[in-house]
A and B are shown apart, each in its own frame.
Chain A
Amino acid sequence: MTTLLSPVREQSLAERISERLPNGLLATQTGCDGVSILWIAATDLRPTFAALKAAASLMLLDLTAIDERERTHRDGQPESAFTVVYHLMSLATRTDEVRIKVPLGAAAPTLPSICDLWPNANWYEREVWDLFGIHFQNHPSLRRILTPPTWTGHPLRKDHHARATEMPPYSLTEDHEAQEQDALRFDPSAWGMRRHSDHSDFMFLNLGPNHPSVHGVFRIVLQLEGERIVDAVPDIGFHHRGAEKMGERQSWHTYIPYTDRVDYLGGVMNNFPYVMAVETLAGITVPPRAQMIRVMLAELFRIASHLVFYGTMAQDVGQLSPVFYMFTDRERVFGIIEAICGFRMHPAWFRIGGVTMDLPNGWEGLIRDFLHDLPQRLDEYDAMVMRNPIFRARTKGIGAYTTAEAIEWGVTGPGLRATGLEWDYRKHAPYACYDQLEFDIPTGANGDCYDRIAVHVEEIRQSLRIIRQCVDNMPAGPVKADHPLTTPPPKARTMHNIETLIHHFLSVSWGPVIPPGEARASIEATKGVNTYTLISDGGTTCYRTRIRTPSFAHLQMLPLLSRGIMVADLIAILGSIDFVMADADR
């Protein structure tokens, strides 16, 4: 049973890149997850990416940075104070996946922007600028994205404080208040918008951050001509809680509950990539029963999340009732989850090496009842929502994009499948026990709002199918790996002699010490590909925790979809994108 990503991969893409480079690679490595890491010089960056862009249809999955100044285990890596990481992935083959790293100095780190090559680099580069202070030349609008414009410092640098108690007590002086107020004043040109056209003055409408249809704290500044949208500029960061920074403070084990709250509708789905990444670093093999339990719970959460999506989507186009029916179903899902985990929305139930505890007595009955009831209710919802002529008129042909555009913008999940591409990370690179389960990948044809909703609905049915197989084939055995780094360690192995007691005490109080390395784990989360990239420096905490979330990527596409449509269509599009602001802002 191999449950972790296979470390043996072809190096085709990596080889192709290294051939093209005029100065050659600075270094090559392979991460614990088997993905090759290529170090290139900053001067080679743009030629390399231009060549890559021309060579293959690659998705820029992630773009982030590492503050290397306090890292001790850097064997085989070029000297650098900051490292910018580009993660490229081919949707066609699993082998074409590569992390490209660029070393930068400590003083005024600068890189050329690749926004013109991959449009979704825009927000990622802004994020790296905001959190690390790395400047990107020729970026169209290099502003802070997650922190407020008046913020000083770059939070993910190692010398930036991590919590308020490290700072003097906060006080708001009059000058400071005036300065903050001044920063809030709206200036269209700063957002890249004009006040007038040749014929008319535009109206600027501030949709959010507390608007009923933006699903959380999300702000979109609309440039309107009548009710028609000329331009829309999304503004995020209101929900930023520094989840990545917290990862550098919490022990490997105590960070698990924080992950639950990233996509707060996804529950244990968020634990999944995190514990998988830690297990990859530690070399833990998870027993089959734990794998199956994980998959079953993750799919239950997918259903819960999709039901929220379905109901709120109907409500966004003015249909009041479906959301109540769907929340009733969601309550049943939570009933099952509560019976198994003891919590409802944020159970933090996965553990490094397995799950917290075994399934309770009678769990099968609960799930079988639910599996029996939900399909009929889904059929009713089809009649009520999907076949409703007004609903169809509001969602068909609205907010459509092509597969090529989706790949350009880093769209994954139902938004990508709605364009007709049969791509699901669970099939692309099966993790846990998805390779043993049968399910289909629902796709759309037009990539419009209606197709996105239809894909979500069909995914609920597929999740039910997966859960049924889990219930029918649940293997017996332990729910935690027999490995020294499994956390918390099994109680049965302590109390034998002083050694076992010390080991148990240490891994409960300090938490495990994970060997140095770098690993990434991705899953098909409720909204798209969710990735955790963890760097261990051989300590009890993670050196760098990178969370790549689907919502961040998907929201970035909004201006492209909203030009020339009505405000009401924008609301339908927002509903159909299925985002959670905590997932976008982390």
Chain B
Amino acid sequence: MTSSALLTIILMPFLLLALATVLTWVERRLLGLWQDRYGPNRVGPGGLFQAVADGIKILFKQDWIPPFADKGVFILAPAIGMMTVLLSFAVIPFTMGIGIASNLNVGLLFILGMMGLGVYAVVLAGWSSNSKFALLGGMRAAAQMISYEVFMGLSLLGVVMMAGSFSLHDIVTAQAGLWFIIPQCLGFAVFLLAGIAETHRLPFDLPEGENELGAGFHTEYSGMKFGMFFIAEYAGIVLISSLVTTLYLGGWRGPLLPPAVWFLLKTGSMVAFFILLRASLPRPRYDQLMALGWKVLLPLSLLNVMVTGTLLMLRASL
């Protein structure tokens, strides 16, 4: 292993954490812009250091564990949430050269696996808090995330079939001619919806559902443990956005600009799209969300797999 690879491994988590922290500020400023107000603009240039100020504040908050909570699991849950998101980034190819294990031949499966584990963070947090609002949030989270994982996996099958590989690096390489968003538009739509549900962001933020459940699964969390859920959520947005970029938008590919810039640009637009969704849409009810998943998205993703497979077979037989 070369020293540069080691450096990447060490730097990457810090970079991601910093990015997720800044993203909290970006989101608040963008929401401010779209909601006819300012958002945080006082600390540092344009309010940029607000994220730092918030980070410092949350680090020095009392780290309180409710006496009725299941202590071990209560502490473990945010750690799981944070870890699974950060680990997933290992297989993302940022450019041809930059990436930790982007050539992993089961890269996509690894990410799906990590997301599967990520559900535990929310479920365990809800369960161990021993609070009713948290429990309801955890219950919703379990149902929502497990079902949406099904469609997420299925929607990706089309991409895998077209690229002929689970390696994310190969998938980007396979998009040399045409970005997969065009042939795989159906899969893209399903993946995007499943991705929003996976990061439990508005409009699919039912596990938190602040208007109904206070703060849902992390009602009882405070201090840095809450901070970890918070940062993990924003890192999750970056993850889903970079996945969309990698799988459907041709990854680092693009004319003129350097590959890293293209990757950042595409991921950044996706992140902004996520925030725009939050600014504009209301939240469906829990059963409406599940109905959408099982009655619409599942058949659509199956159809996508079938059509893609048929076309690929036809092309091969020509």
Whether A325 pairs with B35 at a CB distance below 8 angstroms is yes
In the complex, per-residue mask of B246-274: 1 if CB is within 8 Å of any chain A CB, else 0: 00000000000000000000000000000
| A207-225 to B contact mask, C-beta < 8 Å, 1/0 | 0000111000000000000
- Residue A205 at the B interface, CB < 8 A? yes
A319 lies within 8 A of B136 (CB): no
Q: Mark A324-362, 1 if CB is under 8 A from B, else 0.
A: 110010000000000000000000000000000000000
Contacts of B283 in A (CB 8 A): 317-319, 390, 394, 568
Is the beta-carbon distance between B203 and A568 smaller than 8 angstroms? Answer: no
Q: Are A319 and B35 in contact (CB under 8 A)?
A: no
In the complex, are the beta carbons of A567 and B36 less than 8 A apart? no
Contact indicator B286/A317 (Cβ below 8 Å): no
Closest partner residue, chain A, to B210 (CB atom) = A212
Q: How far is the CB of B317 from chain A (nearest CB, A)?
A: 42
Task: Mark interface residues in B282-307 (1 if CB within 8 Å of A CB, else 0).
Answer: 11111110000000000000000000
Q: Is the CB of B132 within 8 A of A203?
A: yes
User: How many angstroms from the CA of A226 to the CA of B132 in the assembled complex?
Assistant: 11
Residues of A within 8 Å of B212, CB to CB, are 213, 567-568, 571
Q: How far is the CA of A402 from the CA of B82 in the complex (A)?
A: 51
Tally B residues with Cβ within 8 Å of A. 30
In contact, A320 and B35 (Cβ under 8 angstroms): yes
A315 to chain B, nearest CB (A): 7
Q: Which residues of A contact B284 (CB under 8 A)?
A: 390, 393-394
Interface: A79 (CB within 8 A): no
- The CA-CA distance from A213 to B133 in the complex, in Å, is 14
Contact A318 B34 (CB under 8 A): no
B residues in contact with A324, CB < 8 Å: 35-37
Asked, given contacts A227-B286, A324-B36, whether A319 binds B281 with beta carbons under 8 Å apart, the answer is: yes
Which of A328, A390, A567 makes the CB contact (< 8 A) with B281?
A390
1/0 per residue, CB under 8 A from B, across A378-398: the answer is 000000100010110110000
Q: Indicate if the CB atoms of A568 and B214 lie closer than 8 Å.
A: no
Name the residue of chain B whose CB is nearest to the CB of A317. Answer: B282
Complex-state Cα separation, A328 to B37, whole angstroms: 9
Q: Bits for A554-586, please: 1 = Cβ < 8 Å to B, else 0.
A: 000000000000111101000000000000000
User: How many whole Å from A113's CB to the nearest CB in chain B?
Assistant: 34
Bound CA span A391–B282, Å: 6
Contact status of A566 and B285, CB under 8 A, knowing A213-B212, A321-B34: yes
CB closest chain-B residue, reference A226: B139
Q: Are A566 and B287 in contact (CB under 8 A)?
A: yes
Is B211 an interface position by the 8 A CB rule? yes
Bound together, the chains give a CA A566 to CA B214 distance in angstroms of 16
Q: When chains A and B are docked, how far (Å) is the Cα of A124 from the Cα of B202? A: 41
Is the Cβ of B132 less than 8 Å from the Cβ of A318? Answer: no
A314 interface contact, C-beta 8 A: yes
Please name the residue on chain A nearest to B136 by beta carbon.
A227
Q: Mark B120-158, 1 if CB is under 8 A from A, else 0.
A: 000000000000110010011000000000000000000
Q: Which B-chain residue is minimally distant from A203 (CB atoms)?
A: B132
B280 touches A (CB below 8 Å): yes
Partner of A320, one of B31, B133, B209: B31
Q: Give the chain A neighbours of B132 by CB distance below 8 A.
A: 203, 205-206
Closest to A210 in B: B214
B279 within 8 Å of A (CB atoms): yes
Instruction: Find out whether the CB atom of B279 lies under 8 angstroms from the CB atom of A213.
Output: no
Q: Which residues of B contact A205 (CB under 8 A)?
A: 132-133, 136
A316 in contact (CB, < 8 A): yes
Q: Is the CB of B286 within 8 A of A320?
A: no
> Is B205 at the interface (CB under 8 A from chain A)?
yes
Chain A residues with Cβ under 8 A from B286's Cβ?
227, 566, 568
B202 neighbours in A (Cβ, 8 Å):
318, 320
Please give, as numbers and ranges, the residues of chain A lying within 8 Å of B136 by CB-CB distance.
Answer: 205, 227, 567
Looking at B202, B209, B282, the one whose CB has the most chain A CB atoms below 10 A away is B282
Total interface residues on A, using CB and 8 Å?
30
Task: Please determine whether B209 and A568 come into contact, CB atoms closer than 8 angstroms.
Answer: yes
Are A394 and B282 in contact (CB-based, < 8 A)?
Answer: yes
CA distance A569 to B284 in the complex (A): 10
Cβ of B31: which chain A residues have Cβ within 8 Å of it?
320-321
Q: Is A321 touching B279 in the complex (CB atoms < 8 A)? A: yes
A316 touches B211 (CB 8 A): yes
Contact between B282 and A568, CB atoms less than 8 A apart: no
- Report chain B residues within 8 Å CB of A384: 280
Quick check: B211 and A318 within 8 Å, CB to CB?
A: yes
A380 to chain B, nearest CB (A): 12
- Scoring B31, B35, B140, B278 by chain A CB atoms within 10 A of each residue's CB, the highest score goes to B35
Rounded to whole Å, the gap between the CB of B213 and the closest CB of chain A is 8
- Closest approach, in angstroms, between the C-beta of B169 and any C-beta of chain A? 38
By beta carbon, the residue of chain A nearest B278 is: A320
Contact status of A393 and B288, CB under 8 A, knowing A212-B214, A213-B211, A320-B202: yes
B190-229, CB < 8 A from A: 202-203, 205, 209-214
Q: How far is the CA of A212 from the CA of B210 in the complex (A)?
A: 7
**Chain A neighbourhood of B278, CB < 8 A:** 320
- Among B140, B202, B281, which residue has the most Cβ atoms of chain A within 10 A? B281
Query: Which B residues touch A226, using CB under 8 A?
Result: 139
CA distance A384 to B280 in the complex (A): 8
The CA of A320 and the CA of B210, in the complex, are separated in Å by: 11
Please give, as numbers and ranges, the residues of chain A lying within 8 Å of B211 by CB-CB distance: 212-213, 315-318, 571
Contact between chains at B210 and A394 (CB < 8 Å): no
**A11 CA to B142 CA, complexed, in Å:** 65
The answer to whether A318 and B282 touch across the interface, beta carbons within 8 angstroms, is yes
Which residues of chain B come closer than 8 Å to A212, judged between CB atoms?
A: 210-211, 214
Please name the residue on chain B nearest to A388 by beta carbon: B282
Chain B 161-191, CB-CB to A under 8 Å as 1, else 0, gives 0000000000000000000000000000000
Q: 1/0 per residue A295-328: CB within 8 Å of B?
A: 0000000000000000000111111110011001
Complex alpha-carbon distance, A227 and B216, angstroms: 13
Nearest-CB residue, chain A, relative to B288: A393
- Chain A residues near B214: list those with CB within 8 A: 211-212
Please give, as numbers and ranges, the residues of chain B lying within 8 Å of A319 by CB-CB distance.
280-283
Query: How long is the Cα–Cα vector from A390 to B31 in the complex, in angstroms?
Result: 20
Question: Which residue from chain B places its CB closest to the CB of A385 in the assembled complex?
Answer: B282
Q: Which residues of B contact A388 (CB under 8 A)?
A: 281-282
Report Cα–Cα, A568/B213, bound state, in Å: 9
Once the chains are docked, how many angstroms separate the CA of A314 from the CA of B133? 22
Report the Cα distance A398→B204, complex, angstroms: 20
Closest to B34 in A: A321
List chain B residues, Cβ under 8 A from A317.
Answer: 211, 282-283
Cα distance A321–B279 in the bound complex, in angstroms: 6
Closest chain-A Cβ to B46's Cβ sits at a distance in Å of 20
CA distance A320 to B213 in the complex (A): 16
**Which residue from chain B places its CB closest to the CB of A398 in the assembled complex?**
B285
**Interface hub of B133, B202, B210, B212 (most chain A Cβ within 10 A):** B212
Interface string of B12-35 (1 = CB under 8 A from A): 000000000000000000010011
Q: What is the distance, in angstroms, from B141's C-beta to the closest C-beta of chain A?
A: 13
What would 16 A/B residue contacts be, using CB atoms closer than 8 Å?
A206-B132, A213-B211, A227-B139, A316-B211, A317-B283, A320-B278, A321-B34, A324-B37, A388-B281, A388-B282, A390-B282, A393-B285, A394-B283, A394-B284, A394-B288, A568-B212
Mark A residues whose CB is within 8 Å of B. 203, 205-206, 211-213, 226-227, 314-321, 324-325, 328, 384, 388, 390-391, 393-394, 566-569, 571
Closest 10 CB pairs of A and B: A318-B283, A319-B282, A324-B35, A317-B282, A318-B282, A213-B211, A568-B285, A390-B282, A391-B282, A321-B35
- Known: A321-B279, A324-B37, A394-B285; 6 extra A-B contacts, CB below 8 A, are A212-B211, A227-B139, A227-B140, A318-B209, A319-B280, A320-B278
